[in-house]
Amino acid sequence: MDARNTPEIAVQGIAASPGIAHGQVLRHIQCDLELPVYQVKPEQRAAEQERFDRALLATRQQIQRIKAEVEKNLGADEARIFDAHLLVLEDQALIGETEREFETGSINIEACFDKVAKRYIKAFSEIDDEYLRERAGDIRDVAQRVLQNLLGRVEQTLSNFEGNRVIVANDISPSETVGMDRNKVLAVITDSGSRTSHAVIVARTLRVPAVVGTRDLTKRIVDGDWVLVDGYDGAVILNPSEQTLFRYGKIQVKRRNIEQRLLEASRLPSVTLDGAGVMLRANIERTDEMEQVRSYSAKGVGLFRTEFLYLQGNRIPSEEEQFQIYKAAAEFFGDESVTIRTLDLGGDKPMPGNPGMFSHEANPFLGMRAIRFCLEHEHLFRDQLRAILRASAFGKVLLMYPMISGPEELDRANEILDECRVELRGRGVAFDEKMPVGTMIEIPSAAMLSDILAAKSDFFSIGTNDLIQYMLAIDRGNERIAHLYEPAHPAVLRMLRHIVEQAHQAGIKVCVCGEMAGDPRYVPLLLGLGVDELSMAGSLIPAVKFLIRAMNMADAKSLVAEALKQNKTAKIKALCNAFYTARMTEK
């Protein structure tokens, strides 16, 4: 049917990979494999174990081939995505649990592996941190490969189809994304997923527009339907009209011009029109991101999330292992600071390989996590603190504690840190005696006590993601109420003002490292409030720097003065949008 004879329908998803595309749909539905479950006789157990070993080997070889192909065609950085897949296969907890499940039961090995893998996938899917939550996709991808090899099935691919198409899938694995024919795939749309999934990372590398989180789109379309995909704003339009296509054609030209200007701006100083400098740093999880964030001209690291070190192998890294990683970051950035956040693990971020340390919690966001977890497991905390202290001898390292709720926790954490300093001095190990130690402000109680905490801290780092979530009692992961999560809420604005004022009265700097710092529409609000530094995903720096270079700090302060007079979120958002639009148009 001609799309022009059917009604136009707009579907809103999440913008994942920039670009605009228009074409016909190819549905790609990932279905769970139908696994046989049967009894294994004692004399067949050795053969069953050998079958599992062969499947693991075959899967490893497949992933290594994909990695080599990606490295050849896209580069080493993109190929590292598949290191995470290889780590899954080397995970002794996952493999060991499968073998124990097989030894204690009497059913076939694929049923045992599927049971254990699903347990791991569920654990990672429930983690609050978006990046770490998406690692469930890596386990799911690898598990699917292992099961296919156990069953002797041929893997599904997106490399062989007729014509140019927009791929619409319920989900898509990184290896499927890599296998896509870039000359045929116009765009990718998925019902699930997020901006940080590895499949999306590959799509961005291939410069394929992508929109994720469209929920049930695969059930509303059929092969051959026409769609327009807006990877900038997350819009998907079914059966677009001629007027819509014309409008998006103009948008696409404008977007390309903007992208070029943003790229050019990222190489220029981060200074406002009236001469105010703004420090822009990057958030990272792993050291293999360092080259990328430097390419965006990040001035060091404002947030090094260390929990990835504990989750990537489902085991506890040693002091030495952590030291080598922190040292590499310190040496790489040299005179530019690297702020290392101590472990934010526990509650909603359990390590599947260490279930003994965690118990089920009805409210994990309010449970045993971050600094609470570290103070309960001091041996882990001490290992990390010693590793960070040792790394401070090799660069400009800063340390900060997450989820501090009041002075008692901060005092105890600093007491342990002092004891680690004494221990290292006794061992004759060098470290920076004046390493700055800061506090993350992400709990309302800490915000209210910011005057007391500022007197005990060398700097503040505001984690707006959790601070807003806790202030407004909004579970960001609950899709029914996530829309109520509002950085422009009057209460949030007033709380941020209070934190900054108390910090500056104590003579310490304030950095914002949450998502709010990477949103150009809210950056003027933060700067007008007096925030000293911003830290964000490296890829967001060009857009933020572009706006900074197009604005006056005096205007940002006027924006804040006007916003503080408002009592409704919508009015504050309108002021921010008008400020942003005017500067982008003027520029």
Other residues' Cβ atoms within 10 Å of the Cβ of residue 549: 17
Q: What are phi and psi of 132, to 5 degrees?
A: -70, -35
Token pair listed for 171: 């989900």
Q: Is 198 a catalytic residue?
A: yes
- In degrees, rounded to 5, the angle at the alpha carbon of residue 11 between the alpha carbons of residues 575 and 521 is 20
C-alpha torsion sign, points 278, 284, 290, 292: negative
* Total residues found in the chain within this entry: 587
By DSSP bridging, strand 185-190 and strand 226-230 are unpaired
Q: Name residue, tokens 């192909």.
A: 69
- What CA–CA distances, in Å, run from 115 to 107, 121, 357? 11, 10, 22
Residue 44 DSSP class = G
Strand ranges inside 389-537, DSSP E: 397-401, 437-441, 459-462, 509-512, 533-536
Contact 407, 419 (CB under 8 A): no
374, 511, 513, 576: which is the annotated catalytic residue? 513
How distant is the alpha carbon of residue 222 from its chain centre?
A: 32
Helix (H, G, I), strand (E, B) or coil at 53: helix
Token pair listed for 13: 């998803």
DSSP 244-266: HHHHHHHHHHHHHHHHHHHHHHT
Residue 565 DSSP class = T
Strand order in the sheet with 20-28: 9-12, 235-238, 226-230, 20-28, 165-169, 185-190, 210-212, 14-17
Residue 342 DSSP class = P
Task: List 24's β-bridge partners, or say none.
Answer: 165, 226
Q: Could you tell me what percentage of the chain is helix, strand and coil, using 3-state DSSP and rounding each to the nearest 5?
A: 55, 15, 35
Could you give the CA distance from residue 583 to residue 577 in angstroms, rounded to a whole number?
10
22, 28, 85, 198: which is the annotated catalytic residue? 198
Residue 155 DSSP class = P
Token pair listed for 375: 């103070």
Contact 214, 102 (CB under 8 A): no
Which residues are designated catalytic?
198, 513
